[in-house]
A and B are shown apart, each in its own frame.
Chain A
Amino acid sequence: GESVGLHLPTLSVQEGDNSIINCAYSNSASDYFIWYKQESGKGPQFIIDIRSNMDKRQGQRVTVLLNKTVKHLSLQIAATQPGDSAVYFCAETSNQAGTALIFGKGTTLSVSS
């Protein structure tokens, strides 16, 4: 079936390092991708999104890269801070309304100071 997977379940970095979280998706018809951050006891928080007609999109300290050829998505976090520690999910959808998201299992990012 359709699924979104992440390459690593956990990632540990030092404060100030750059972090890269990877995600592979399987549905070539997906046209909209979103990264969410989920802290303990909270719901997923929107970080950044990207449409399939783009390869790269930048936000504040975050960059999302989309490689449609190999169906790969990555989230880069610059100058990682302890407050970035959380579980990160990528999600995809082939619905133009941006709903019925398919989530992967998530990557737990741990930032040590």
Chain B
Amino acid sequence: ETGVTQSPTHLIKTRGQQVTLRCSSQSGHNTVSWYQQALGQGPQFIFQYYREEENGRGNFPPRFSGLQFPNYSSELNVNALELDDSALYLCATHKTGVNSPLHFGNGTRLTVT
């Protein structure tokens, strides 16, 4: 059983640019969520995708958007990058159902300069 994999592992962007982060789901997991983790903080929920549609969103602006593909892999897109977007971006997947724990990837470390 393969785990959750994310790419790239590290990324440096300039303020105002756009970035795309990628996530491959753990085998059999049909739901994907994205979290932002600032240094020294706990992860914060960005949004969730199920059946290729967003079905839950946290307190993040519309410039944070995502996609889920038929094979359950996912992308997180961030437009008009700001310095405060510098963080670890975590992808988590699970099987939709009652009380199914999320399994996280190791994240993409994004630095905005």
A residues neighboring B (CB under 8 Å): 4, 32, 34, 36, 41-46, 49, 51, 89, 91, 95-106
Contacts and interface: CB of A to CB of B under 8 A. Distances in A.
A44 B44 contact: no
A106 B110 CA distance: 21
Contacts of B98: 96-98
Q: Which of B48, B56, B102, B104 has the most CB of A within 10 A?
A: B102
Contacts, number: 70
Q: Which of A46, A99, A104, A106 has the most CB of B within 10 A?
A: A99
A46 B102 contact: yes
Contact of A97 (B31, B40, B44): B31
A-B pairs, top 7 by smallest CB distance, nearest first, are: A103-B42, A43-B104, A43-B106, A44-B104, A46-B101, A98-B100, A32-B99
Interface of B: 4, 31, 33, 35, 40-45, 48, 56, 58, 90, 92, 94, 96-107
Contacts of B106: 41-43
A5 B44 CA distance: 13
A51 B104 contact: no
Contacts of A101: 35, 43, 45, 102
A20 to B, nearest CB: 19
6 contacts: A44-B104, A89-B42, A89-B43, A98-B99, A103-B42, A105-B42
Contact of B43 (A45, A98, A103): A103
A105 B43 CA distance: 8
B48 A99 contact: yes
A43 B105 contact: yes
Contacts of A97: 31, 96-98, 100
Contact of A100 (B4, B33, B90, B99): B33
Contacts of A89: 42-43
